[in-house]
Structure 1
Amino acid sequence: MPPSDVITPTPTDEPVVLEYPDNRLLIDLCGAYDAHLAAIEKALEVQIIRRGNHLSVLGESDATAQAASVLNTLYARLEGGRAVEQAEVESLLRMGGSDAGTGVRQGDQLEMPVGETIEIQTRKKRVEPRTEAQKAYVKSLFDNELAFGIGPAGTGKTYLAVAVGVSMFIGGHVDKIILSRPAVEAGEKLGYLPGDMKDKVDPYMQPLYDALNDFLPGKQLAKLIEEKRIEIAPLAFMRGRTLSNAFVVLDEAQNATSMQMKMFLTRLGNNSRMVITGDRTQIDLPRGTQSGLADAERLLKSIPKISFNYFTSKDVVRHPLVAAIIEAYENEAAA
């Protein structure tokens, strides 16, 4: 008897048979222990049977058609020299949407255009935006001197911004990278934490360090930080500076006050790029304090060459449960 979480559908239509000539790519398509196939089976309520270099997809016609589209798109990625990992499979399935119980959204065309690849080259890896919103966001980071990324946690706002910053830095387009966050959680408690100022604020900057460690070798990153060609500092440390020839990221901008946001935005210098990321649903400011992100969105939307990019739970690239959690909170707020 199969485990309770494995769906074994009763096929009601003719199976869809797919042929993949490159056996090496087929192995990557299926994933370790056929994990990618299992994810597609569970999401779309189909059964996928592998025989040689053929995959037979059984189930309802709409679901088998969507599964075939997912498989063909993933195989095309592999043919293009790009990796397929579990995150890519889950992201592509989410792009197809999910009605309750079936994992199929009627009328939507599932596609991830292989010919329109956007890739960010860093020292350690190539980074590829996975959703249309992420692609538009990355494009705007290259096209605009000031860009906003607004949306829920896990949508890649900060990660992609740091990747673009590293790419521009190693390409010689900027001389330094400056990453900042409001240390709102610290407040008056900052003085009670052990160590010097760097020790006190580093815990709040850790997500920025994590992103940089994904893109630059450890020794090189340490050297660049020591030389101050990469700076990671609280928002308050930006006051009085002019940030020229730099790629500047303000993360968690919803926790900047209106005055702090104005101060930060007016630091922009010549030959610099500035990215502001934030989530309007996670404001930690004291009650009654206006978020600088909301003010900036209201005041700056009509200014040319400033882009605003928005993300939803469909763009979440963390664990699939994160997307479900965000959707649940969004539904509650809308009720």
Structure 2
Amino acid sequence: MTLIDPPQPSTATTAALDFPDNRLLIDLCGPFNSNLTQIESHLGVDIAHQGNRLVINGEAAAEAAGVLEGAYARLEAGKTAEAADIDALIRMNTQPAVPTDQIEMFAPGALEIRTRKKTVEPRTDAQKGYTQALLDNELTFGIGPAGTGKTYIAVAVAVNKFVSGEVDKIILSRPAVEAGEKLGYLPGDMKDKVDPYMQPLYDALNDFLPAKQLAKLLEEKRIEIAPLAFMRGRTLANAFVVLDEAQNATTMQMKMFLTRLGRGSRMAITGDRSQVDLPRGVTSGLRDAERILDNVPGISFNYFTAKDVVRHPLVAKIIEAYDKDAPPS
């Protein structure tokens, strides 16, 4: 791939790229040029396909060139360049510059989470920082709005550590708090009653482990999914422990959970301060933990915003609209 200086006197709004491999160029453009259309729509540029060359016109020509170069590099490495990958590259090329001492960490492909079923790559700078924190720290907080990958990445790292033998078991937990509506009494045994609250954790695990292996590990209790209340009195050693929806833990529950940490274990705490479902007047344990533990060495706090949402693009717009409408705190 060669970057060609365009003949126009101004290079600020024009860029041209030559791609020597026609097969990879076809994959780069995507079905019916869908990848090019996605870049044009997001960055407000026009991309013309001229043989082995792509010519970019627009104020964000340099950013679009960076996205195309990154996508082509992925293809050369045998990776995909699909809509989600293009979205991640757009985010990386349009966010503020990364400090020079972090360039290697934020290079494309520098961070990959390998599991039995798939390899997970962080798609925003905040996700990369969070992933690195999960790998480096024994206690990591991921705080931000829905759809930013807080729990998904934490479970992926947990599976990665388990598969590699760094931990002996995975423990996933959530407060069993109803989200603004009363569901009444649920039928069945204890597992039947709590499983509806835990379903997002099962969904994440199913993405990373084959169904038969997951069922066996759950049966052997090498992977546990349980409500927060069931953690009392336990010492969680040689385990990767994830507490999801931590904004719905009370201060006492949060303290109880954090003090379960045993030797050889790691903890990830995820939550969204805008979705507290606790009774009125009850303080969120997540908010108290931020205040109390802010300066404790070995604990990492990582924050996400609507710009880090990796679900449907409308989710980010919905979150931003609600944030604007929220009364001042």
Q: Same fold (TM over 0.5)?
A: yes
Q: Which stretches in structure 2 are left out of the alignment for 5+ residues?
A: 1-9
Moved more, 46-55 or 208-217: 46-55
Per the alignment, residue 63 of structure 1 pairs with 60
Q: 1:192 to 1:315 in 2, by over 3 A?
A: same
Structure 1 equivalent of residue 294 of structure 2: 301
C-alpha displacement at 1:322, in angstroms?
1.2
Tell me what 1:49 maps to: 48
TM-score by length of 2: 0.88
Provide the residue aligned with 1:87 in structure 2.
84
Pair 1:114–1:158, CA change in 2 (3 A): same
Query: How do residues 228-239 of structure 1 correspond to structure 2 at under 5 angstroms?
Result: 228-239=221-232
Q: CA deviation at 1:63?
A: 2.4
Q: Which whole-Å deviations, capped at 9, do the CAs of 1:107-139 have from their partners, x for residues lacking one?
A: x55999546610111001111112121111111
Equivalent position to 1:171, from 164, 176, 192: 164
Shift in Å at residue 56 of structure 1? 2.1
Give 2:4's aligned residue: none
Q: Does the CA-based 8 Å contact 1:154-1:318 persist in structure 2?
A: yes
Q: Percent identity?
A: 69
Question: How far is the alpha carbon of 1:73 from its aligned partner?
Answer: 1.9
Is the CA contact (8 Å cut-off) linking 2:25 and 2:72 kept in structure 1?
yes
Q: How far did residue 189 of structure 1 move? A: 5.4
Aligned length in residues: 313
Contact 1:241 1:267 in 2 (8 A): yes
Deviation sequence 1:272-308 (CA, Å, 0-9, x none): 0011000011101111000000011110111110111
Q: Indicate the residue corresponding to 1:77 in structure 2.
A: 74
Which segment drifts farther, 309-318 or 85-94? Answer: 85-94
Q: Counterpart amino acid of 2:224? A: E
Check 1:25–1:334 CA distance in 2 against 1; reply closer, same or farther (3 A cut): farther
- Is residue 2:259 matched to residue 1:282? no
Instruction: Please name the residue that 2:38 is paired with.
Output: 39
Equivalence for 2:213: 220
Query: 2:308 and 2:194 mapped to 1: Cα distance?
Result: 30
Q: Distance in 1 between matches of 2:229 and 2:108?
A: 43
Greater Cα shift, 154-163 or 23-32: 23-32
Structure 1 residues 224 and 63: CA distance shift in structure 2, 3 A: same
User: Is the CA contact (8 Å cut-off) linking 2:56 and 2:65 kept in structure 1?
Assistant: yes
Structure 1 pair 200–94 and aligned structure 2 pair: CA distance change class (3 A): same
1:137–1:109 Cα change, 3 Å: closer
| Whole-Å separation in 2 of the counterparts to 1:237 and 1:200 | 13
Do the aligned partners of 2:92 and 2:125 also contact (CA within 8 Å) in 1?
no
Q: Distance in 2 between matches of 1:188 and 1:36?
A: 42
CA distance in 1, matches of 2:70, 2:297: 36
Distance 1:182 1:145, change over 3 A: same
Q: Which AA in structure 2 matches 1:80? A: A
* 2:28 aligned residue: 29
Which residue number in structure 1 is paired with residue 238 of structure 2? 245
- In 2, Cα distance between equivalents of 1:109 and 1:247: 33
Q: Retained in 2: the 8 A contact 1:87–1:318?
A: no
Residue type matched to 1:72 in 2?
E
Letter in 2 for 1:40: I
Which has the larger displacement, 258-267 or 115-124?
115-124
Match in the other structure for 1:17: 16
Q: 2:106, 2:125 within 8 Å by CA — same for their partners in 1?
A: no
Question: Partners of 2:107 and 2:145 in 1: how far apart?
Answer: 27
Partner secondary structure for residue 49 of structure 1: strand
SS in 1 for 2:47: strand
Normalised to the residue count of structure 1, the TM-score between the two structures is 0.87
Give 1:48 shift: 1.8
Aligned to 1:5: none
2: distance between equivalents of 1:263 and 1:217?
Answer: 33
Distance 2:129 2:21 in 1: 32
Q: CA deviation at 1:72?
A: 1.4
1:147 maps onto 2:140 in alignment: yes
1:93-108 alignment, distance < 5 Å:
93-97=90-94
- 1:29 Cα deviation from its structure 2 partner: 1.4
